[in-house]
Amino acid sequence: MPAELPVVVVGGGPAGLMAAQQISRAGHAVHLFDAMPTVGRKFLLAGKGGLNLTHSEVHDAFASRYGARRAQMEPLLQDLDSDAVRAWAQDLGVETFVGTSGRVFPKDLKAAPLLRAWLARLRHPAQGAPVQFHMRHRWTGWNPQGDLTFATSAGEVCVQAKAVVLALGGGSWARLGSDGAWVALLQARGVDVSPLLPANCGFDVAGGWSPFFAEKFAGQPFKTVAITVPGERAGSAPLFQRKGEFVATATGVEGSLIYAAAQVLRDALLRAGRAGFLLDLLPDMSHERVLAEVRHPRGSRSLSSHLKSRLHLDGIKAGILRECLPKASFDDPVALAAGIKALPISLQATRPMDEAISSAGGVRFEGLNAGLMLQSLPGVFCAGEMLDWEAPTGGYLLSASLATGRRAAHGVLEYLNKI
């Protein structure tokens, strides 16, 4: 290995690979280091259910998904919008399509062919310099001389570089390489890092489910429901309200609708130590209609049979009513109808971060320049999920990782032109 490398990228996820592609295309030799035996492990896992590359919605709606960090993320996303992501995949020989939800997928719904084509392009580019890969090199920081240090099976390796892109991921899925160990390394160098928190995560319900409910319904979905997270003051607008699906777990709830509300619920737990939502079991039916059906004479039928016949409430929906609604409410049509339309579900904690799809927090943008270079460490750039942003699932996570990798690469090229 040369005494000084032109550019080092640490991290072989989407952000690191995109940074490497952009820099190498400009003719600079790039050496990519990763702690794992192969690159793109979380990328491949994300593709198991159908790789969601990006989202086709209009730019304003797309940018709004990044919440408090919209101002910082929007310029990056304009440089690599959803059309550009599709064009990038097409250039690698992977056709994409827009699903009914507006999400964008490879036509074969698989991540592995795209990753294989991407790596082949990086190793054997039509233009520029090939990327050199160094696997099983775990970054451990800097030595007193300012060299990057890596732990390997053969001992410590020290590397000098003119420019470095850190694309080390967030704090979720440690077994795939994103363990957040970099936080302490950067903080020791004076870098301002917001604490890592679970995002797109599940929650434990307060007090836990009863053994009966957990045994019978864990793993089952709530289909066609809606949840509302009420405002903090009476009469204020809801903090979150949406229709969708989610799943009961052995200890609580998870799934797409819960992930969409996760930031609001997590922040409420951090702020007040408690959180919750109102569950509408029949969002396509008005409260008045539900009340009328509950009041309808049921004759000799049991209440369970009556609710199933008149409202199609059975299975897990009937089960959670029994689980969470006071017994007396089943003798009161008004209280029962209210429970069906707004059943309170109290939460006590997020699930552990290593179970989360992604993480929030990371290197604050206030400590970076427009090219994503650390102001306190000239020549060191950051990209991907290790930056302080978060977004829901739906293509927004991968789009932002690619966009930040591209921006960091352009920052590196500008920096190299100046030194």
What string of pLDDT tens digits covers the 419 residues of the chain? 556 889 999 999 999 999 999 999 999 999 999 999 999 998 998 878 789 999 999 999 999 999 999 999 999 999 999 999 999 999 999 999 999 999 999 999 999 999 999 999 999 999 999 999 999 999 999 999 999 999 999 999 999 999 999 999 999 988 888 899 999 999 999 999 999 999 999 999 999 999 999 999 999 999 999 999 998 887 789 999 999 999 999 999 999 999 999 999 999 999 999 999 999 999 999 999 999 999 999 888 999 999 999 999 999 999 999 999 999 999 999 999 999 999 999 999 999 999 999 999 999 999 999 999 999 999 999 999 999 999 999 999 999 999 999 999 999 999 999 88
Distance CA 287, CA 224 (A): 16
Which sign, positive or negative, has the C-alpha torsion 306, 311, 316, 321? negative
Closest CA to 387 of 395, 379, 397: 397
**DSSP of 228-278:** EE--SSTTPPPSEEEEEEEEE-SSEEESHHHHHHHHHHHHHHHHHS-EEEE
Distance CA 202, CA 254 (A): 4
Task: Judge contact between 292 and 337, C-beta under 8 A.
Answer: no
Is residue 105 helix, strand or coil? strand
DSSP H or E run through 404: helix 396-418
Question: CATH assignment of 4-199+358-418?
Answer: 3.50.50.60
Is residue 161 exposed (0-12), middle (13-18) or buried (19+ Cβ within 10 Å)? buried
pTM above 0.75, yes or no: yes
What secondary structure letter does DSSP report for 69?
A: G
Tokens found for residue 344: 């309170």
Distance CA 373, CA 194 (A): 17
Is residue 371 helix, strand or coil? coil
Cα 312 to chain centroid, rounded: 34
Is residue 389 helix, strand or coil? coil
Residues 6+ apart with CB under 8 A from 194: 360, 361, 362, 363, 364, 388
Domains in the chain: boundaries: 4-199+358-418, 203-350
Closest CA to 84 of 65, 124, 56: 56
